[in-house]
Amino acid sequence: MNHDEFRAAYLEGRLGASEERHISGCRECRAATAQLDATRALLADPTTWDEPAPDLGERVVAAFKRERSQPQRPSWRWLWVAVPAAAAIAVAAWVVTRPPAPDWKVDLPGVAQAAQAMGTVEGWNVAAGTRMEVHVDNLPAAPAGFVYEFWMSQGRNHVSAGSFIEAGSVELVAGVSRRDFPRLWITMEPLDGNTAPTGAVVLDTG
Amino acid sequence: MSTHRLMQRFRAGDPEATRRLYDDYGKAVFAVAVRALGDRGLAEEAVQLTFLSAWRAAESFDLSRDPAPWLYAIARRVAIDLYRRERRHRSVDNDVEPEIAVLPPSIETTWEAWEVRIALERLAPEELEVIRVTHYRGLTHSEAAEEMGVPIGTIKSRSHRAHKHLAALLQHLRQEATA
């Protein structure tokens, strides 16, 4: 019996003598049984089989058509010319106080064992270096004793911009520019006092 | 239509592409939402918001990538936002300070639920049915054969084929778990 046959049988709940013999001698399949049990639980879970109303697809398309038909917002330059003075003052206040648009934005794809993870990085060039807002999804929380660490690199030169422990949004600052350190990547680092990137790479611009 | 072409047309605002994307992923998005929110009405609202959000973000989507993880991330974020919105509404009604950063309790299992639902959609209809009646409804092979009006041997071979197919589709989950 090979791995695929065992796993199909286990998923089906069909464990006979040959399956028992296989699992007793195969560490890989023994390790896989926890995930297979979780899958079986999901297959028995009513929420897995719950389906939306039959007309939801039409409602999604209708909402999409309404969104698409919205008029384009005028540029702020046009507003300076067209609106009355009081409204123009309000627009000026908004322009002065709104957060500036990032100087750059890049996707941060998941790699290897974290292929399902994904992220984006928005960066602002500041006097102290680079300020970044990092958004990461689909990354499990770092296990005890580990953190996710964000790196900016040029070749073998690495600068850490900070660390976090779970998916979401974080604000980080590095004392270097992206122009000089273009590679952006995230590793899972052990809390061992080592300041170099030694852990598994989870997201990477390459 | 290739996935690349589908996403290109979706990005360009083609309603047919939106419908096709919904047909491919709508049930999986719903599975994530209903698991996170525990309410069908909210889950359907989440599905609509997910596809709208996806279209708004489509300009930055890399057409060379699989859209499934990207859509899942959007669905997850929409579900979290709706969950927190509902909690804020309930907090106002009950005059209690809301917990802004709280996550839905079952949010961590939504990735696997998404993957299982995507895999189920890729089974042949008779494979999907035998999986559903045996796992969800708990029927034995002989009970399933009687209900579906086919010989028990047919049910056994369908079940074997369906589980082999499903195990192959979900193999990457085991690789992630054991990494």
Determine contact: A53 vs chain B, CB below 8 A: yes
In order of B89, B91, B131, B163, the CA distances from B94 in angstroms are 9, 5, 44, 48
Contacts of A83 (CB under 8 A, 6+ apart): A91
Q: Chain B, 66-85: which have a CB under 8 Å from a chain A CB?
A: 69-70, 72-73, 76-77
Give the tokens for residue A66. 């309404």
> What is the nearest CA distance from A92 to chain B, expressed in angstroms?
27
- Return the higher-pLDDT residue of A29 and A186: A186
Q: Do B177 and A35 touch (CB under 8 A)?
A: yes
Does pLDDT of A114 surpass 80?
A: no
- pLDDT tier, A141 (very low <50, low <70, confident <90, very high otherwise): confident
For B111-153, write each residue's pLDDT tens digit: 889 999 999 999 999 999 999 999 999 999 999 999 989 999 9
Q: Do B173 and A110 touch (CB under 8 A)?
A: no
User: A59-86: buried (b, 16+ CB within 10 Å) or exposed (e) per residue?
Assistant: bbbebbeeeeeeeeeeeeeebeeeeeee
ipTM above 0.85, yes or no: yes
Per-residue pLDDT at A139: 84
Per-residue pLDDT at A40: 94
DSSP secondary structure string, B127-166? HHHHHIIIIIS---HHHHHHHHTS-HHHHHHHHHHHHHHH
Q: Do A12 and B73 touch (CB under 8 A)?
A: no
For A66-108, write each residue's pLDDT tens digit: 888 876 544 444 444 444 444 445 444 444 444 567 888 888 8
> What is the nearest CA distance from B90 to chain A, expressed in angstroms?
24
Residue for token pair 């464990």? A15
Q: Would you call B112 helix, strand, or coil by DSSP?
A: helix
H/E element, A137:
strand A129-137
Of the listed ranges A68-77, A127-136, A177-186, the one predicted with least confidence: A68-77
CA distance A149 to A155: 18
Does pLDDT of A199 surpass 70?
A: yes
> Looking at residues B68-75, what average pLDDT do you find?
90
Contacts of A139 (CB under 8 A, 6+ apart): A110, A114, A117, A119, A148, A166, A167, A202, A203
